[in-house]
Amino acid sequence: MTQRPLLASQAAQESPALHDRAADNIRFIRDTMARAGAFTSVSGVGMIGAGAMGIVAAGLGVWSPIDRTPRRWLAVWLAAACCAVFLSSITIRAKAARSHQSLSAGPARRFALAFAPPLVAGAVMTVAFASRGQFALLAPMWLVLYGAAVTSGGAFSVRPVPVMGVAFLALGAACFLAPPAWQPAFLIAGFGGLHLIFGVLIARQYGG
C-alpha cells in the first residue's frame, strides 16, 4: 500500500525534469536548424527596385559624364546607391516578417557579416580614389567589390544570389580591362541589368 504513493511521488518529481529536458532538446534542434538554414529573405522586389535606380543613375550620368563633371557623376551614383540600400532594407524586412525569419540571428547574421566587409572596403576606396581624382577606377572597383559582397553573402542565401555575385565579379574584371568610355555600359549592365534579371528570378521562385 505504501509503494503506490511513493511511485506517484517519484513520477511527480520526474515529470518536470522530463519536461525541462524535452524543452532543452527542442530549443537545441531549433537553434541548430536556424544556424544551418539559408537566408531566404533576400528580396527580389527590392532587387528590381535597385535595378531601376541603376538605370536611372546611368541615364542621369549621360547629362553629367564622368570626363566632364566627375564629382556630379559621383554624386548621382552615390544617391542612387543610398536609395537602393533604403529600398532593399524595407523589402527585406517585409519579406522576413512574412516568412517569420529573424534578421538578428542565424542565417541573416552570417549573411550580413559576409556581405558587409567588401562594401565597407568599397566605401573607403571610393573616398580614397575620389580625393585623388582617380574617378576612372570607381566603376570597375564598385562592380568587383559589390560582386565580392554578393558572392560571399550569397553563400548563406538562395542559389541565385551567389550566381549574381559571380556575374558582377566578371563584369568588374572586364570593366578594368575595357576602355574608360565603355564604363557607363558596364554600370548599366551590372547595377541595372543584373539586378533586374536576378530580382525577377528571385521574386518568382522564392516568394517576392
DSSP for 88-115? HHHHHHHHHHHHT--SSSTHHHHHHHHH
The whole-angstrom separation of Cα 98 and Cα 22 is 29
Residue 61's pLDDT is what? Answer: 80
Residue 2's pLDDT is what? Answer: 52
Instruction: Say whether pLDDT at 204 is over 50.
Output: yes
Residue positions counted in the chain: 208
Chain-centroid distance, C-alpha 101: 15
Residue 106's pLDDT is what? Answer: 80
Residue 186's pLDDT is what? Answer: 95
Quick one: cell of 15? 515529470
Q: What string of DSSP letters covers 131-172?
A: HTT-GGGHHHHHHHHHHHHHHHHHTTB-THHHHHHHHHHHHH
Question: Could you tell me the pLDDT band of residue 32, with boundaries at 50, 70 and 90?
Answer: very low
pLDDT tens, residue by residue, 84-115: 999 999 999 998 888 888 887 788 889 889 99
pLDDT above 70 as % of the chain: 82
Q: Decide which of 67 and 44 is more confident.
A: 44
Mean model confidence pLDDT for the chain? 84
pLDDT tens, residue by residue, 185-195: 999 999 999 99
